[in-house]
Structure 1
Amino acid sequence: MRCIMWKRGENKVILMGRAGKDAEVRYTPNGTAIASLTLATEISYSDNEGKEQKETEWHDIVIFGKKAEAAGKYFKKGMMLYFVGRIRNNKWQGTDGKMRSNKEIVIDNNGEMQMLPGAGPRNTSAEGQGGIENHDEPPFPDMNDYPQ
């Protein structure tokens, strides 16, 4: 048996789910594209009475560079999408003075993204799920924190 020794940890997440909204693209002052969208993932399980239950989790996805431009062009609400990225924790002070935080999945040059077969939009019943309300959004990311 071979043992692998890690010199450092690894931050990697794989998600597959449906887009909760169309990807929205904006640009940093230096011209780097940043796309954002929400992704719904679902698990099914049987409760103690044997009834099938479903739970939906919402994830904030942030995509950088050329991948962001492609996402803005092609990723629409309801599409089945696949992402490999990393988790980023954000903290900021809200307009009410309280500290806020969220987690987002970052897709940069090291990440992957795909539209899955049969990935066309479908009629989704969850409006406005996931993400953060506009008045309490984290500040625009410092691009020095992300690889280009």
Structure 2
Amino acid sequence: MSDTNKVFIMGRLTRDAQLRTSPNGVETAHFSIANNRSKKNPDGTWGQVVNFIDLTLYGDRAKATAPYLIQGQQVFIEAHLAQKRWEKDGKKFQRLEVEIDDLKFSGRYQKSDFPRELKPEEGEIVTEGNFQPVFEEEC
């Protein structure tokens, strides 16, 4: 039996995606989502627990999707965990990242909310291409 490394998360973006280009030329979109769940408190009442999750999307999909990843937008993410290791000044570091395999837009945003324009003077790249998000009312 093979090992499994799959993550499914639904939540709302806590900030607009930041589009960057890595030193080797790969486009990356970085953003965070808030994921809420109910939990029973010790006194028997129910409360909300909020998890904040950092996510990374790579390649052409990062470039095409970044303008649509705006704060408050609800998304459904299918991803995998990837351990990153590096060394700096002789000290070793490691971090566990959530790398997106598939992303679906959800929730209720107006078409006029999309896309936000990425401004090159802020270090972001203006998106070009034919990516079009699917809105619930079109399904």
Superposition TM-score, scaled by structure 1 size:
0.64
Q: Distance in 1 between matches of 2:21 and 2:50?
A: 30
Deviation at 1:46, TM superposition (A): 2.0
| Partner in structure 2 of residue 27 of structure 1 | 21
Q: Is the 8 A contact 1:44 1:54 kept in 2?
A: yes
Match of 1:103 among 96, 108, 123: 96
**CA distance in 1: counterparts of 2:85 and 2:25, whole angstroms:** 24
Structure 1: segments with no counterpart, 5+ residues: 1-5, 121-148
Give the 3 Å change call, closer, same or farther, for CA 99–30 of structure 1 in structure 2. closer
Partner residue of 2:105?
115
Provide TM-score, normalisation by structure 2: 0.68
Any conservation in 1 of the 2:75–2:107 contact (CA below 8 Å)?
Answer: no
* Structure holding more strand per residue: 2
3-state DSSP of counterpart to 1:39: strand
Query: Would you say 1:89 and 2:79 are equivalent positions?
Result: no
Once the two structures are TM-superposed, the CA of residue 30 in structure 1 deviates from its matched residue by 4.5
Which digits, 9 at most, give the CA deviation of each residue in 1:85-116, with x for residues without a partner? 10112344578x76544322102xxx110110
Tell me, in whole angstroms, the C-alpha distance in 1 between the residues paired with 2:3 and 2:13: 29
Give the CA RMSD over aligned residues: 2.2
Q: Structure 2, unaligned stretches of length 5 or more?
A: 111-139
1: CA distance, partners of 2:7 / 2:58: 16
Match of 1:79 in 2: 73
Aligned length: 110
1:67 aligned counterpart, secondary structure: helix
Q: How do residues 1-148 of structure 1 correspond to structure 2 at under 5 angstroms?
A: 6=1, 8-92=2-86, 100-107=93-100, 111-118=101-108
| 1:59–1:104 CA contact under 8 A, matched in 2 | no
